[in-house]
Amino acid sequence: MKSFLNILFATIAFSLCVLIAYLTNSDIVLNAIILAFLIQWVAYIPAYLFQTEKFYDLTGSLTYLTVIWFVYFSSGQTNEFNTQSLLVTVLISLWAVRLGSFLFARIHKDGEDKRFRTIKTSASQFFMTWTLQGMWVSICSMCAITGISSIDGIIPNNLFYIGFALFIIGFSIEIIADRQKTIFRSIEENKDKFITTGLWSKSQHPNYFGEILLWSAVAIMSFSSLSGTQYLTMISPVFTYVLLVYISGVRMLDDMGNKKWGHLEEYRAYKKNTPMLFLKL
């Protein structure tokens, strides 16, 4: 029964992304989304055979790079050179390279991703997890690749510049937060402690706040290039928020934190006085 539900859920995830891509009325976008899922399914085969999750996050980042540049070069056939389209492509590429290398280095150091201990032993559940990564890539990037593939490409206006500024802010917050936590964990006496310094004194999850902000910024930069049913792709920042807060990010980390430090008064005080996501000014 569980195997059936896993396959069903994976099928629904794929079908939903393909449907939204189809409604953009762009063959380029549709092909890009199918490509995103094909990469996951091909990578799943050796990952399951060798029972490893070590290149899962890296594959996700490589998929972003493949999809965004596929769309950029494919769109060159339908529109003239567009500086804004190139800039959005480069920004997403920088984010993907940074996040992929960071997560790959972390799992290489830790030796495993604890989330996958039971998942990778189930063929259907592991397949669903790889499929969900295809969904993550597809929905997060779809507003950008739809805008890039439009006749005029990404349109330069006030919304674009606001989005660009927000992307830089969000990207910077994510990098700084990850860096601060990496340094904190590298100190031996902090091995079994939780971080409450730097940006982590302003938010319990500042890295996720930066992630949500930068994808909201991508949607803002792309907005003016969309029309009709293409506005469905603006689900990107909402999807990112739901994914990070209720599914794979905040919820899981809070559960682990409560089990590890929930008995400590200082931890309970930290959670009570520090915003879960948004930065405290």
The token pair at 29 is 């976008």
**Is residue 113 within 8 Å of 189, Cβ to Cβ?**
no
The verdict on residue 281 lying in a domain is no
Give the range of the structural domain holding residue 156, as residue numbers without chain letter.
2-273
What does the pLDDT read at residue 2?
85
pLDDT tens readout for residues 92-138: 999 999 998 988 887 777 766 667 777 888 899 999 999 999 999 99
The verdict on residue 173 lying in a domain is yes
What does the pLDDT read at residue 153?
93
**Is residue 62 within 8 Å of 97, Cβ to Cβ?**
no
The verdict on residue 279 lying in a domain is no
What does the pLDDT read at residue 112?
66
**Is residue 236 within 8 Å of 161, Cβ to Cβ?**
no
The token pair at 152 is 């005029």
Task: Could you list the beta-strand ranges (E) of 26-181.
Answer: none
The verdict on residue 278 lying in a domain is no
Residues of the chain with pLDDT under 50: none
What is the pTM assigned to this prediction?
A: 0.92
The verdict on residue 122 lying in a domain is yes
Q: How many domains does the chain have?
A: 1
What does the pLDDT read at residue 43?
96
Q: What is the residue-wise DSSP string for 233-257? A: GGGHHHHHHHIIIIISSHHHHHHHH
The verdict on residue 280 lying in a domain is no
Name every residue whose Cβ is closer than 8 Å to that of residue 131 and which is 6 or more positions away in sequence: 10, 13, 14, 37, 40, 41
Residue showing tokens 């003016």: 224
What does the pLDDT read at residue 78?
53
Can you tell me the distance from the alpha carbon of 216 to that of 220, in angstroms, rounded to the nearest whole number?
6
